[in-house]
Amino acid sequence: MFCVLFPGCALCRFSDDDPALFGEKVTLKEHKLSVHYFCLLTSCGVYQRGEENEGVFGFLVDDIKQEIRRSARLMCFVCKKKGACVGCNVRSCRKMFHFPCGRKRMSVSQFTGLFPSYCRDHSPVQTLCGGLDLSLPQSCSICLDSMDPVLSFSILKCPSCHASWFHRDCVQHQAHSAGLFFFRCTLCNNKENFQEEMLRMGIYIPERDASWELEANAFSELLEVYNRCDALSCLCEKGRAHSAKSGWFEVIRCRLCGSTGTHRRCSELQVDTRDWACSECTQATDGRGPHPFTDEITFPSSPRGGDLARQNFLKLLVQQIQNCVVFEGPDGAKTLALNSQAVREDLYFDVGCLLALSLVHGGPPVGFFSPALYQCLFNHPAHQPVTVGHMTPDTPLSRRIAEAESLEELREVMAASCDFLEVAGCNRPISSLEERDALVEDLVNFTVITRMQLPLQRFREGLQTLGVFDQVQLFPAVFFEVFCEASDHLTAQTFGRLFTIAFSEQEEKLNRETAVVAFWRHFLLECEVGRSSVSLQDLLRFSTGVQEVPAVGLRPAPSISFLHSPGLQEEDRMDEGLFPQSHLESRRLLLPVSSSYQNFKSSVEQFKVCEDVISSMLVR
């Protein structure tokens, strides 16, 4: 039976086995000894004279035994026991210690060069940079536990960003896990300066890949392709796991998660459909964030009046489209009309294309689709049939049939419209009033869907311009407001949400700016109720250069900064000569810092006075 010479490390006599703090513990059975790797690296009398595969990582066994004999005569100044193999690198310092004892007494060993060690009195320290704000609560950037931002042996900071603080043990465990290639600041992501500073402060960085990269078959599941039909009812005779090379029973995967699949036939898709999103992903992403295609479009820059001119043009364009022959029904609830001339001239495609271009390039919300038209185009709400309640007043036949209270009345309505019922395939004998609902359902499907197949298809293809149709299918609940609900009146609350506020870092300026934000919000409320000579539309035009908020939002996002008086220390000079300014290209509004609300309101209203004066001069 094998036993080692000491119950722990032959150099430090400790049995601790934490590779991050003491290095790998290696046991040589044939020589009956165990050693910590860090104890070997920091020992004063042993060096790597062999190859990496010889002895213990290049430390020859005879050299290790000789170091054990040498250190057996030296006493550790911490525990007062023999076997101290690590000494302070300062020549005038005579302190010797075991590696674990030195850690307890805040000694630092540098794992680079000749691997020097330093006692607490001579160990390297970090310094604070000027202007660092320590009044805010600090936490370890790795374990996230709260900590006092006081530099010491156990508290370290990043030399680059000066805002990332660490526990020594936390950063050592991170270095052991990440390795040389992935070890970096968790906040600013700096690598070169961060590693150099951590080595100086005694952090060991192993020269290997990250631990998660070294696990056998750690990412093998990424090579597996999901290939199973997850439809509620699988229609494939060969089972859910069968996937043809093409056609109805080829399994296509969700374009968002890739972990859900379906046969085309099982989900009632087209035979050439390639892009499909599962119901879970559609529900999870519904209603979150801005419209997806806004991040893919670069809006062209324009002069001061360019945005206004473009938005006015797009607004008039949408109004003209709403009243064209392609649509029918009341304002705000339009459906597609079946017009033979529009079919011949392919106006349905043109109208869909123009609406897509208007949305992407900052036009107003469409706002006039009926819920029935939206459902026919985008299947939202999903799997809900179109009912007679979705019909417009221009199609009264379905309503009259649905409202018939007796069999005789129902037959009279059908007789008066027998020609249309014949075309719809619904002219059948009715023997009881209970058959009315089935007749209404068939008639609604014919009126809204069957006879409108070609217009709907061409309209969808037009909306696919710039990828609009595909994005609406992924986020139907978000876009419902864009297509089916008229834009709300601009309010102080919605106006305030358009802007992000950029505060100053200096505490004195920050206090003044906080008061100005309260003035600003109160001023918006007065503009909304008409207690100011400036309206919210005037402010929107002045600060962003647009008349109304586009359907896809404002890009770049509007922001607010502050104008401070040069005489910041003098309260009576704060309100002199400060007026609001707007940078339309960056959509940045600069608000004057004032000492009172009345002064702030008077300053902000000056831009309207200047606009009126310039307008009168141009008229003259």
* b/e map 198-210, b = 16+ CB within 10 Å: bbebbbbbbeeee
The whole-number pLDDT of residue 14 equals 87
The whole-number pLDDT of residue 405 equals 74
* b/e map 502-515, b = 16+ CB within 10 Å: eeeeeeeeeebbee
Looking at per-residue confidence, does 137 or 239 come out higher? 239
Beta pairing class for 117-118 and 108-109 = antiparallel
Spatial CA neighbour of 460 closest among 377, 368, 343: 377
Residue range 221-235: average pLDDT?
83
Domain parsing of the chain, residue ranges = 19-118, 138-214, 296-386+452-484, 390-448, 492-619
Give the type of residue at 178. A
Residue range 524-545: average pLDDT?
84
pLDDT of 204 higher than 90 = yes
Looking at per-residue confidence, does 247 or 611 come out higher? 247
What ranges make up the beta strands (E) of 271-343?
Answer: 327-328, 335-336
pLDDT band at 294; cut points 50, 70, 90: very low
Give the type of residue at 99. F
Least confident of 32-36, 159-163, 470-474: 159-163
> Can you tell me whether residue 210 is helix, strand or coil?
coil
Residue range 420-445: average pLDDT?
76
User: pLDDT exceeding 70 applies to what percent of the chain?
Assistant: 84
User: What six digits make up the tokens of 419?
Assistant: 């020609």
Under a CB-based contact definition with an 8 Å cutoff, are residues 91 and 76 in contact? no
> Can you tell me whether residue 106 is helix, strand or coil?
coil
pLDDT of 515 higher than 70 = yes
The whole-number pLDDT of residue 608 equals 64
Give the type of residue at 235. L
pLDDT of 68 higher than 70 = yes
Centre a 10 Å sphere on the Cβ of residue 286 and count the other Cβ atoms it contains.
15
Highest mean pLDDT among 203-217, 300-314, 509-523: 509-523
Cα gap 180→198, rounded to integer Å: 12
User: pLDDT exceeding 90 applies to what percent of the chain?
Assistant: 17
pLDDT of 326 higher than 80 = yes
Q: Tens digit of pLDDT for each residue in 109-152?
A: 999 888 999 999 999 998 876 555 555 547 888 888 888 878 88
For 524-544, the three-class secondary structure string (H helix, E strand, C coil) is HHHHHHCCCCCCHHHHHHHHH
Q: Tens digit of pLDDT for each residue in 261-273?
A: 999 989 888 888 8
Under a CB-based contact definition with an 8 Å cutoff, are residues 260 and 253 in contact? yes
The whole-number pLDDT of residue 169 equals 92
The whole-number pLDDT of residue 99 equals 92
DSSP 369: B
Give the type of residue at 167. H
What class does CATH assign to 492-619? alpha beta
The whole-number pLDDT of residue 613 equals 44
pTM of the model: 0.43
Query: What topology does CATH give the domain 19-118?
Result: Herpes Virus-1 (3.30.40)
Query: What topology does CATH give the domain 296-386+452-484?
Result: Hect, E3 ligase catalytic domain fold (3.90.1750)
What are phi and psi for residue 252, nearest 5 degrees?
Answer: -110, 145
Q: Strand pairing partners for 151?
A: none
Least confident of 23-27, 395-399, 411-415: 395-399
Give every CB contact of residue 526 below 8 A, 6+ residues apart in sequence: 532, 601
